[in-house]
């Protein structure tokens, strides 16, 4: 049993309000069973406690997408959730597996575009936001997986959007199970294109909707065994026939009548129509036009729709002729005739309309008049004709109009079905039921009775389905549900359809008696159902009756029940129309079967409708049902208006509240263990301590609070109605007690804080007064100290003044003395510095002069020498340009150069020998001079010693000897000797210094000799290389001569068959002359003379040609085998591309008209990339293809016209030898003589332009296609698995790598951003932090990859970066709209910002999204921009196009030097690929 709701003071509740249906407020006072509530709108309400419902104050700000997640599942909770979501433009909401669709009354194209279909395709139900596509996807998946038919029931009142919802369902089913077009149109297109026809003839304006369907429609979409649409059928139910003759203001009749009146003038004249206001069936209402709708345009659109569904022009004319006839029939009026109870045509106007009707129906006017005014009664004795009075004649007229229109509508449905085509072998179908909703007006007749009967039947089916879903949920959670009562409406259905005592049975019985009236029928109902609880007799009416339906009581007026229930066709009408000359009209009224004609002619609408409904229910019972309830939020049909009373009535009529009552009968509140403990764990904290089992903890909490009747499932807690409110009340009490405790503690804290503040202030005052006393004492002490200090300073001043006087005098004296000394020293230093400067300048000038002289002499010598060499080179080049035997001359030059180099080497050796001999002689001379100087020195030393001994002897002699001049002379001699000794020492030092200089020169000469020796060795190496090179040239010369022979032989063989032009003959003569000249050259070998002899030219057979072709074919085979291998890279250059280019250029494949080498290369590349998953192979071939394409882009140029070919060959080279020697010219002294490598040494900039033929240009185009194909394959593979493949593109040109990563990052941006906007669980704070960490890793990778490879890839993530920045930013409610749109998220559109703001939820801190003011600003901007379908879409599209062209690749890649590429071992030793070897240095 459920627990009674516990309402206390302070509880937030919902109370009934006559204006807004429900209003929320807070309980301020409780008096017994009455409660006083302060509402949020300012009112004070007094209500009974039993009529209050608790409000969940912790509900999500944006509502919940599934209302079974509501804490309180009741009417006001459901209404509030729908209103909140509608305000956020979230028009779809689940209630379990039931979808509620609220009509937005505006276009939302972003919700139905193909990208949204792709998102919901295969997604589990409930994973994404609620959507009509999700329901269709579940039905389709169930049909495919379980091989069982499904049905989607769309219901709602007029204007709720049933038809649009049905269109969206069919669009999505066509998207899932579409097939190839048949005759230009698919089945789903034909079904959708039939809607305008059915709407024109079956829809009308009502009080609530301008395009209300006045019939029920069940569309069966049939599928084959592969899940593709194979056929379709449309079933219709209960067309409102009475509307043809009777309408009320401000409604309209069926659209087709107004469309025909607005048709082009020729059609109007053909059908004799006039102003629509002149027709009785149309002027009963004052509404003739719809706002914003042109009937003339709709008429043409309906005609086009008829053409599309297969209705021929003749059939269309017949259809509108019938419609016009119905309008004319309505204007036929009757008056009393001469006989009793007879009638005749009223006036000429009526006669005109009668004749026009007969003309349009192609029948006899007299017979038509008799059929309207008379009846034939067949008796056993005779046939009696009876006249009808004007009233009955009018009823007969209206009956004829209704019968014709009903038959016409049935024919249209059958025609559409036959046009669409049905699959008889189909085993599965998905039915979409678009049927009228529950209706309750001021005046309710037989149509409303049938409509509500249908809804009662569907509601029973709906209740059984909902109860079944509840049972499945309970069984899944393994709880006991056997005592739960099922809410059923079988008693109402028994009241209506039970035999023999049901309303329909009594109505059929009354219709079969001619004298029965609506009064007798009503009295029969009163007698039969006077004690039935669902039947009520009104007090003030004798013919009305009330039935208590599931959606409420409906008062029916039985005045026209009998007339509207009669369905038989009048025999006179049948005979009249069967005899029509128009085959279309006679086909609408085929003759009835004999057994039918013999039996009773009576049939009833009610009985037939009951049979149709039972057949529909049998179909629905055999399928798996899915429900969509459409809701109209307001009656003014405008967006952003949500009328609570209106919506609540529709929820009752749609059975949504009935489903809630079924849920409330069981366990309406369901919470997972975590959610329950998170919310109610505070009620029993001890249950959570030391207990890891959530299930046990939940049970302890519920048992502690004394609740009964709850159930504990496997993953959820199931609570009976009212128990959630009881727990919330207990929780509120606990929180209130906690709040009181917190308040007490806070007040204590505040008082203590105040006390401490006062105490601190008093201590501060005391300190201030004590400070003032201390200041006074300090001032006295300060004055005394100041007096002492003044006296001291005065005495010090006088002493210092005396001292300064003496000090200044001493300083003057010292300054003068020091200045004199400094000036003297300065003059001396100045003189010394001047002398040194003069000497330095002079020496510098002398050295500079000598250097300039040497430099000028060297420059003059170099210039003359270079000029001499240049003149010689120029002379040689000019000579080579005039000679035809340039190849031999080049060889001779090489030999001469070898001889010259040999002579230079010998000369260098001789010079080195002479230099060494000169050095040896000079050294011997220097040694002899040094020995002579040493002897002189020894001699001087000997003389000096002798002189010293003599002086010593003289000193030791007796003193008696007198001093004479001799002594003086000896002293002078000694002095002179001493001077001489000093000079000798000086000269000795000079000689030593000279010897050191010579030694240095000798060492320098030795170093120079070593360098010359190295150069000599290098020269010898070069000579050997040149010899090898000459050998290869000789081999090539032999090949060229062989080719020349073949060409000459072909030219000779072609001469008899063709007449040569002047240029060709001159070329051939010049070729032969050149060959003769070369043969007369004495330097050419005898072998070459023999091969070039003109005598043997004409004797050569096909052997050289055959051998040359075979050799070329072998070379091509070897090249293909070589490039099929993984050759790798040389530096950053792919080897295979360089090898291919050099071979093609050498073989002149670009200039030939026919060759197979290009196709073989393309086939090799295509075979190599067949395995699309091997990204390493794809990256390797992308590098080779792009490099080869770059070389071709800079080499090939399109050839001119065919007629210019001879002139071009003549201008470039007259003969084959001339073409060969063309590449030799300009090569300095034969260093780069190679035809192969001479034009490739310096890189791509020096590549010569080649006039390409068609095969070469085609090869370039194929190569371009392969670059784009391989690029797309790598990009698509990288989208699947990014991280492991980042290193494989390192050898691919950086330009392509940047493009790949730019598109990959764009793909990441689109996928993450769309997932964020489509899944609410992704739009959370914690998920934002998680994605932000991943983006930081990507940014770090881009930084490490540098701009060379990453480029602008990081900028492609701008949408997801700004969206994540919004998710993780704090204090969102404080952000203004300008801050969000301009500072935080400038790239995001208003629709994207609105989507993120409304879907955001904080699962970590519980904070809220942006403020309501910001949301309202966004909504206003979205409404202003709602007509723009591009701006309405909040999802991003992925761009998978190729983002570059061949010119982009050519401009982005740097120059490529292919001259030093080493050929692979497979072809290195082959003589046919000698040209691939690098040239000698």
DSSP state of 1101: -
pLDDT: is 1016 or 1289 the higher one?
1016
> How confident is residue 1238, by pLDDT bands cut at 50, 70 and 90?
very low
Write out pLDDT tens, residues 836-861. 999 999 999 999 999 999 999 999 99
Average pLDDT over residues 866-870: 91
**Percent of the chain predicted with pLDDT > 70:** 80
Distance CA 629, CA 641 (A): 19
In terms of Cα–Cα distance, which of 1327, 1324, 1311, 1443 is closest to 115?
Answer: 1311
- Please confirm, yes or no, whether 1398 is among the known catalytic residues: no
- Looking at the predicted structure, is the pLDDT value of residue 569 above 60? yes
> How confident is residue 1222, by pLDDT bands cut at 50, 70 and 90?
very low
Q: What is the pLDDT of residue 1006?
A: 81
Q: What is the pLDDT of residue 298?
A: 92
User: Of the spans 147-156, 242-251, 860-869, 889-898, which averages the highest pLDDT?
Assistant: 860-869
Average pLDDT over residues 1190-1219: 49
> How confident is residue 299, by pLDDT bands cut at 50, 70 and 90?
very high
Copy the structure tokens of residue 1254: 């068609």
- Looking at the predicted structure, is the pLDDT value of residue 1351 above 50? yes
Q: What is the pLDDT of residue 109?
A: 79
- Looking at the predicted structure, is the pLDDT value of residue 1052 above 60? no
> How confident is residue 1440, by pLDDT bands cut at 50, 70 and 90?
low
Q: What is the pLDDT of residue 1447?
A: 66
- Looking at the predicted structure, is the pLDDT value of residue 1388 above 70? yes
> How confident is residue 804, by pLDDT bands cut at 50, 70 and 90?
very high
Q: Are 1264 and 1446 in contact (CB under 8 A)?
A: yes
pLDDT: is 517 or 1427 the higher one?
517
pLDDT: is 1265 or 282 the higher one?
282
- Looking at the predicted structure, is the pLDDT value of residue 793 above 90? yes
| Residue 470 Cα to chain centre, angstroms | 41
Copy the structure tokens of residue 657: 């509240």
670-684, 718-732, 793-807, 951-965: segment of lowest average pLDDT: 951-965
Which residue of the set 25, 437, 502, 666 is catalytic? Answer: 437
906-910, 1104-1108, 1180-1184: segment of lowest average pLDDT: 1104-1108
Distance CA 1226, CA 1232 (A): 9
Whole-number mean pLDDT of the chain?
A: 79
Q: What is the pLDDT of residue 1221?
A: 33
Which residue of the set 213, 455, 884, 1324 is catalytic? Answer: 213
Write out pLDDT tens, residues 239-269. 888 889 888 888 899 999 999 999 999 999 9
Q: Are 345 and 332 in contact (CB under 8 A)?
A: yes
Which residue of the set 209, 210, 440, 1327 is catalytic? Answer: 209
Which stretches of 1055-1102 are DSSP H helices? 1062-1080, 1086-1091, 1094-1097
> How confident is residue 108, by pLDDT bands cut at 50, 70 and 90?
confident
- Looking at the predicted structure, is the pLDDT value of residue 1387 above 80? yes
- Please confirm, yes or no, whether 155 is among the known catalytic residues: no
Spatial neighbors of 1246 by CB under 8 A, at least 6 apart, are: 1239, 1240
- Looking at the predicted structure, is the pLDDT value of residue 932 above 80? yes
Q: What is the pLDDT of residue 459?
A: 82
- Please confirm, yes or no, whether 211 is among the known catalytic residues: no
Q: What 3-state DSSP class applies to 1324?
A: strand
Q: What is the pLDDT of residue 1285?
A: 43
Is 161 flagged in the annotation as binding? yes
> How confident is residue 1444, by pLDDT bands cut at 50, 70 and 90?
low
In terms of Cα–Cα distance, which of 1078, 75, 1135, 256 is closest to 650?
Answer: 75
DSSP state of 34: E
Distance CA 475, CA 462 (A): 20
For residue 75, give Cα distances in angstroms to 19, 225, 861: 16, 44, 112
pLDDT: is 231 or 473 the higher one?
231
Rounded to whole angstroms, the maximal C-alpha distance in the chain is 221
Which residue of the set 149, 163, 195, 350 is catalytic? Answer: 163
Distance CA 428, CA 232 (A): 11
1445: number of CA atoms within 13 Å, CB side? 1
- Looking at the predicted structure, is the pLDDT value of residue 1272 above 70? yes
Q: What is the pLDDT of residue 95?
A: 84
pLDDT: is 920 or 1032 the higher one?
920
> How confident is residue 1003, by pLDDT bands cut at 50, 70 and 90?
confident
Q: What is the pLDDT of residue 764?
A: 95
Which residue of the set 188, 240, 439, 497 is catalytic? Answer: 439
Residue labelled with tokens 């071939």: 1181
- Please confirm, yes or no, whether 439 is among the known catalytic residues: yes
> How confident is residue 618, by pLDDT bands cut at 50, 70 and 90?
confident
Q: What is the pLDDT of residue 1225?
A: 31
Q: What is the pLDDT of residue 5?
A: 60
Write out pLDDT tens, residues 123-136. 888 888 899 999 99
Q: What is the pLDDT of residue 1441?
A: 67
Distance CA 1123, CA 1142 (A): 13
Distance CA 170, CA 1249 (A): 62
Which residue of the set 89, 95, 158, 230 is catalytic? Answer: 158
Is 160 flagged in the annotation as binding? yes
Write out pLDDT tens, residues 403-462. 999 999 999 999 998 888 888 788 788 888 877 777 787 888 888 888 888 888 888 887
425: number of CA atoms within 13 Å, CB side? 5
- Looking at the predicted structure, is the pLDDT value of residue 333 above 60? yes
Average pLDDT over residues 1458-1480: 69
- Looking at the predicted structure, is the pLDDT value of residue 644 above 80? yes
Is 156 flagged in the annotation as binding? yes
Q: What is the pLDDT of residue 1287?
A: 43
- Looking at the predicted structure, is the pLDDT value of residue 969 above 60? no
Tell me which H or E stretch contains 199. Answer: helix 195-202
- Looking at the predicted structure, is the pLDDT value of residue 1099 above 60? no
Distance CA 1250, CA 1193 (A): 11
Q: Strand 12-17 relative to strand 44-48: parallel, antiparallel, unpaired?
A: unpaired
> How confident is residue 1077, by pLDDT bands cut at 50, 70 and 90?
very low
> How confident is residue 1318, by pLDDT bands cut at 50, 70 and 90?
confident
- Looking at the predicted structure, is the pLDDT value of residue 1314 above 50? yes
Q: What is the pLDDT of residue 360?
A: 93
Which residue of the set 97, 150, 212, 1187 is catalytic? Answer: 212
Average pLDDT over residues 561-576: 80
- Looking at the predicted structure, is the pLDDT value of residue 1356 above 50? yes
Is 162 flagged in the annotation as binding? yes
- Please confirm, yes or no, whether 1164 is among the known catalytic residues: no
pLDDT: is 1369 or 1171 the higher one?
1369
Q: Are 1182 and 1129 in contact (CB under 8 A)?
A: no
Q: What is the pLDDT of residue 893?
A: 75
- Please confirm, yes or no, whether 1459 is among the known catalytic residues: no
Average pLDDT over residues 1319-1331: 83
Which residue of the set 63, 159, 399, 666 is catalytic? Answer: 159
- Please confirm, yes or no, whether 1110 is among the known catalytic residues: no
> How confident is residue 1234, by pLDDT bands cut at 50, 70 and 90?
very low
- Please confirm, yes or no, whether 600 is among the known catalytic residues: no
Q: Are 486 and 659 in contact (CB under 8 A)?
A: no
- Looking at the predicted structure, is the pLDDT value of residue 1071 above 50? no
């Amino acid at each position: 049993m459920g627990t009674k709701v516990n309402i206390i003071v302070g509880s937030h509740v919902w109370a009934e309000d006559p204006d807004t249906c429900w209003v929320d407020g807070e309980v301020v006072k409780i008096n017994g069973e009455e409660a006083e509530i302060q509402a949020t709108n300012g009112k004070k309400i007094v209500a009974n406690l039993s009529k209050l419902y608790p409000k969940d104050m912790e509900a999500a700000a944006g509502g919940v997408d599934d209302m079974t997640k509501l804490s309180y599942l009741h009417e006001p909770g459901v209404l509030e959730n729908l209103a909140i979501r509608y305000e956020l433009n979230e028009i779809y909401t689940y209630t379990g597996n039931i979808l509620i669709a609220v009509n937005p009354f505006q276009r939302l194209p972003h919700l139905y575009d193909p990208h949204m279909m792709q998102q919901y395709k295969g997604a589990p139900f409930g994973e994404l936001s609620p959507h009509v596509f999700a329901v269709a996807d579940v039905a389709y998946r169930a049909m495919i997986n379980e091989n069982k038919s499904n049905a989607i029931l769309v219901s709602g009142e007029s204007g709720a959007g049933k038809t649009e919802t049905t269109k969206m369902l069919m669009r999505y089913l066509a998207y899932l199970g579409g097939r190839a077009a048949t005759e230009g149109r698919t089945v789903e297109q034909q079904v959708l294109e039939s809607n305008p026809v059915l709407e024109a003839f079956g829809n009308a304006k009502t009080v609530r909707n301008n395009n209300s369907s006045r019939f029920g429609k069940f569309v069966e979409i049939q599928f084959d065994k592969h899940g593709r649409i194979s056929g379709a059928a449309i079933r219709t139910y209960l067309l409102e026939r009475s509307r043809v003759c009777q309408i009320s203001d401000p409604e309209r009749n069926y659209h087709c009548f107004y469309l025909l009146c607005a048709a082009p003038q020729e059609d109007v004249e053909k059908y004799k129509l006039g102003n629509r206001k002149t027709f009785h069936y149309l002027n009963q209402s004052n509404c003739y036009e719809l706002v914003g709708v042109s009937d003339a345009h709709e008429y043409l659109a309906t005609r086009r729709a008829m053409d599309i569904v297969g209705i021929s022009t003749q059939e269309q004319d017949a259809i509108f002729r019938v419609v016009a006839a119905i309008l004319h029939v309505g204007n036929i009026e009757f008056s009393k005739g001469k006989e009793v109870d007879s009638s005749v045509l009223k006036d000429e106007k009526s006669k005109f309309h009668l004749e026009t009707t007969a003309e349009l129906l192609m029948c006899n006017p007299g017979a038509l008049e008799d059929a309207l005014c008379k009846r034939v009664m067949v008796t056993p004795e005779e046939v009696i004709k009876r006249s009808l009075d004007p009233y009955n004649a009018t009823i007969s007229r209206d009956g004829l109009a209704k019968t014709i229109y009903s038959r016409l509508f049935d024919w249209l449905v059958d025609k559409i079905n036959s046009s669409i085509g049905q699959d008889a072998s189909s085993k599965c179908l998905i039915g979409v039921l678009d049927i009228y909703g529950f209706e309750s007006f001021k005046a309710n007749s037989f149509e409303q009775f049938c409509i509500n009967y249908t809804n009662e039947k569907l509601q029973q089916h709906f209740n059984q389905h909902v109860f079944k879903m509840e049972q499945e949920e309970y069984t899944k959670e393994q709880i006991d549900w056997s005592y739960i009562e099922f809410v059923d409406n079988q008693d109402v259905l028994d009241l209506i359809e039970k035999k023999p005592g049901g309303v329909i049975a009594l109505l059929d019985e009354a219709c079969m008696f001619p004298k029965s009236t609506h009064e007798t029928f009503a009295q029969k109902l009163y007698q039969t159902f006077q004690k039935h609880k669902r039947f009520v007799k009104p007090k003030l009416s004798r013919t009305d009756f009330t039935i208590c339906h599931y959606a409420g009581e409906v008062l029916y007026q039985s005045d026209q029940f009998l007339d509207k229930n009669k369905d038989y066709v009048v025999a006179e009408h049948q005979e009249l129309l069967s005899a029509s000359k128009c085959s279309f009209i006679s086909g609408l009224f085929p003759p009835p079967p004999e057994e039918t004609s013999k039996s009773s002619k009576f049939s009833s609408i009610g009985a037939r409708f009951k049979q149709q409904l039972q057949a529909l229910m049998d179909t629905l019972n055999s399928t798996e049902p899915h429900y969509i309830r459409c809701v109209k939020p307001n009656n003014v049909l405008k967006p952003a208006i949500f009328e609570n009373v209106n919506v609540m009535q529709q929820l009752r009529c749609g059975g949504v509240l009935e489903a809630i009552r079924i849920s409330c009968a069981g366990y309406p509140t369901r919470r997972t263990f975590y959610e329950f403990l998170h919310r109610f764990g505070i009620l029993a904290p001890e249950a959570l301590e030391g207990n890891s089992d959530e299930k046990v903890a939940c049970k302890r909490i519920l048992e502690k609070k004394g609740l009964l009747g709850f159930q504990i499932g496997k993953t959820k807690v199931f609570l009976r109605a009212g128990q959630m409110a009881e727990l919330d009340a207990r929780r509120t009490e606990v929180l209130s007690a906690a709040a009181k405790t917190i308040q007490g503690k806070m007040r204590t804290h505040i008082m203590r804080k105040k006390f401490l503040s006062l105490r601190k202030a008093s201590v501060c005052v005391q300190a201030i007064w004590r400070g003032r006393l201390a200041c006074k004492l300090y001032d006295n002490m300060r004055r005394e100290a100041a007096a002492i200090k003044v006296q001291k300073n005065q005495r010090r001043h006088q002493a210092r003044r005396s001292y300064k006087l003496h000090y200044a005098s001493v300083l003057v004296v010292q300054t003068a003395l020091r200045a004199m000394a400094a000036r003297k020293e300065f003059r001396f230093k100045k003189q010394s510095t001047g002398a040194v400067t003069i000497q330095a300048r002079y020496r510098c000038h002398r050295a500079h002069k000598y250097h300039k002289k040497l430099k000028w002499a060297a420059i003059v010598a170099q210039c003359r020498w270079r000029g001499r060499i240049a003149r010689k080179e120029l002379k040689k080049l000019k000579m080579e340009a005039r000679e035809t035997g340039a190849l031999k001359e080049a060889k001779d030059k090489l030999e001469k150069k070898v001889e010259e180099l040999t002579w230079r080497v010998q000369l260098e050796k001789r010079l080195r020998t002479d230099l060494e001999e000169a050095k040896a002689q000079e050294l011997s001379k220097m040694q002899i001079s040094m020995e002579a100087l040493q002897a002189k020195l020894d001699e001087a030393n000997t003389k000096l010693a002798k002189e010293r001994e003599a002086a010593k002897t003289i000193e030791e002699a007796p003193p008696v000897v007198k001093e004479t001049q001799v002594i003086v002379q000896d002293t002078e001699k000694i002095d002179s000797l001493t001077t001489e000794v000093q000079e000798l020492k000086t000269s000795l030092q000079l000689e030593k210094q000279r010897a050191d200089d010579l030694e240095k020169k000798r060492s320098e000469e030795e170093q120079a000799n070593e360098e010359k020796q190295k150069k000599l060795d290098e020269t010898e190496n070069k000579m050997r290389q040149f010899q090898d090179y000459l050998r290869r040239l000789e081999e090539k010369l032999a090949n060229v001569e062989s080719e020349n022979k073949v060409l000459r032989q072909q030219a000779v063989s072609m001469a008899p068959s063709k007449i040569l032009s002047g240029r060709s003959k001159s070329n051939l003569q010049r070729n032969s002359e050149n060959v003769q000249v070369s043969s007369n050259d004495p330097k050419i070998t005898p072998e070459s003379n023999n091969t070039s002899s003109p005598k043997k030219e004409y004797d050569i057979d096909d052997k050289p040609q055959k051998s040359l072709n075979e050799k070329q074919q072998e070379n091509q085979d070897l090249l293909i085998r070589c490039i099929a291998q993984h050759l790798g890279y040389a530096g950053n250059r792919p080897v295979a591309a360089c090898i291919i280019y050099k071979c093609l250029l050498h073989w002149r494949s670009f200039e030939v008209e026919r060759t197979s080498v290009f196709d073989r290369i393309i086939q090799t590349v295509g075979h190599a990339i067949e395995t699309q998953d091997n990204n390493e192979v794809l990256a390797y071939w992308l590098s080779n293809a792009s490099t080869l394409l770059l070389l071709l882009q800079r080499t090939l140029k399109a050839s001119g016209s065919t007629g210019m070919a001879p002139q071009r060959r003549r201008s470039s080279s007259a003969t084959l030898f001339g073409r060969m020697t063309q590449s030799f010219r300009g090569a300095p002294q034969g260093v780069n003589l190679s035809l192969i490598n001479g034009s490739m040494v310096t890189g791509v900039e020096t590549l010569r332009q080649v006039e390409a033929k068609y095969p070469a240009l085609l090869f370039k185009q194929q190569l371009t296609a392969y670059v784009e194909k391989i690029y797309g394959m790598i990009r698509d593979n990288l989208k699947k698995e990014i991280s492991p493949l980042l290193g494989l593109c390192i050898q691919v040109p950086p330009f392509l790598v940047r493009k790949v990563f730019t598109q990959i990052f764009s793909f990441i941006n689109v996928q993450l951003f769309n997932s964020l906007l489509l899944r609410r669980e992704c739009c959370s704070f914690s998920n934002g932090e998680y994605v932000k960490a991943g983006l930081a890793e990507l940014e770090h990778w881009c930084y490490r990859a540098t701009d060379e490879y990453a480029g602008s890839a990081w900028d492609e993530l701008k949408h997801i970066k700004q969206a994540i920045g919004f998710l993780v930013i704090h204090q969102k409610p404080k952000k203004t709209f300008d801050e969000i749109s301009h500072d935080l998220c400038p790239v995001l559109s208003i629709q994207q910002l609105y989507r993120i703001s409304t879907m955001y939820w904080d699962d970590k801190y519980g904070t809220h999204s942006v403020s309501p003011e910001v949301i309202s600003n966004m909504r206003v901007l979205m409404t202003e921009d709602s007509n723009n379908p591009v701006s309405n879409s909040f999802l991003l599209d992925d761009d998978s196009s190729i983002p570059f062209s061949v010119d982009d690749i050519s401009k982005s890649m740097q120059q490529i030097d292919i001259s030093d590429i080493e050929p692979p071992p497979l072809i290195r030793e082959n003589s046919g690929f000698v040209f691939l070897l690098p040239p000698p240095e």
